[in-house]
Chain A
Amino acid sequence: MNLFLIITFALAAFFSLLVSIVIFHHFKKFALPGDTISTKILRISKIGSIILLFISFTFLIILFL
């Protein structure tokens, strides 16, 4: 069961990282020059992902304690 919890976290984190990288790539490569809104969208996405990853990781650690 411990292994299952770790694997689910790893899979979710990998999915999150993969999607973030691809979205960042698309915004950097194909956004219009001088577009400020895309920078804000990327920042919100990044901060939200980091917060949710941190929260999930915290609960995972608490489960093992």
Chain B
Amino acid sequence: MITIRDQEEVVLVKRRHHFILVRSLIFFGISFVAILVLMIITFFASFTFPEIVAESLPFLLEYKARILALYSLSLLALVLWQVVFVVVAEYYLDCWVVTSERTIHTELRSLFSRILSSVPHHRIQDVTVDVKGIIPTLFRYGDLQIQTAGQFQEFIFNDIPYPYDTQEVIFKAQKEYLRKAKEKGLSVEELIKKDGGSVSEEEKVVNY
């Protein structure tokens, strides 16, 4: 689980735009609905095996054509159902969390591979927004790139909605974080030295 520290507050959680999920799901979703419709039609229709099937595969004649068709379609529906939820899980579990102290990125790369990385606000050097294309412009989503001073030099939010607003949120969170650090008498250089001056301890890749 993403661990939020005691004094840390979640400021913003971002996932990819819903359009990306719809685009990924559209083929599987339509296929699933088509299978369900076929199952309903098959359930109420009465038919037998075509002659060519009966001649080439005579052992099928002992089975009712309708029930065999329904069985096959239900298995196909089951497999498609799982595929749909893998796509949903990959969408939902890819998220970027901006907290009062850092920005966290978690991504499900495949069923058995996951990446979890974070960058503290004092390591952020630049935040750039990139909105390219007609559909991203119409639907107001794009990429947000955080340039950092660390092992993971680029931290990219892909296809997030309202990236310009997110950019402002990150700037505000960073400003607030540095202000609080200054109140405690810590400069940016001291904050960098405090976390080892290189890779943040939370930056790791988790593979299964």
Residues of A within 8 A of B (CB): 1, 5, 8-9, 12, 15-16, 19-20, 22-23, 26-33, 37-38, 41, 45, 48-49, 52-53, 55-56, 59-60, 62-63
Contacts of A27 in B (CB 8 A): 89, 93
The reply to whether B93 and A63 contact each other, CB–CB distance below 8 Å, is no
Contacts of A9 in B (CB 8 A): 75
Tell me how far the C-beta of B87 lies from the nearest C-beta in chain A, rounded to whole angstroms. 11
The reply to whether B1 and A23 contact each other, CB–CB distance below 8 Å, is no
Interface of B is mostly: helix
Distance of A20 Cα from B111 Cα, bound (Å): 11
Contacts of A12 in B (CB 8 A): 75, 78-79
Interface of A is mostly: helix
Q: Looking at B68, B75, B95, B97, which has the most chain A CB atoms within 10 Å of its CB?
A: B75
The reply to whether A19 and B2 contact each other, CB–CB distance below 8 Å, is no
Distance of A15 Cα from B82 Cα, bound (Å): 8
The reply to whether B106 and A56 contact each other, CB–CB distance below 8 Å, is no
The reply to whether B67 and A62 contact each other, CB–CB distance below 8 Å, is yes
Q: How many A-B residue pairs have CB under 8 A?
A: 90
Contacts of A5 in B (CB 8 A): 71
The reply to whether B79 and A15 contact each other, CB–CB distance below 8 Å, is yes
Contacts of A56 in B (CB 8 A): 71, 74-75, 78
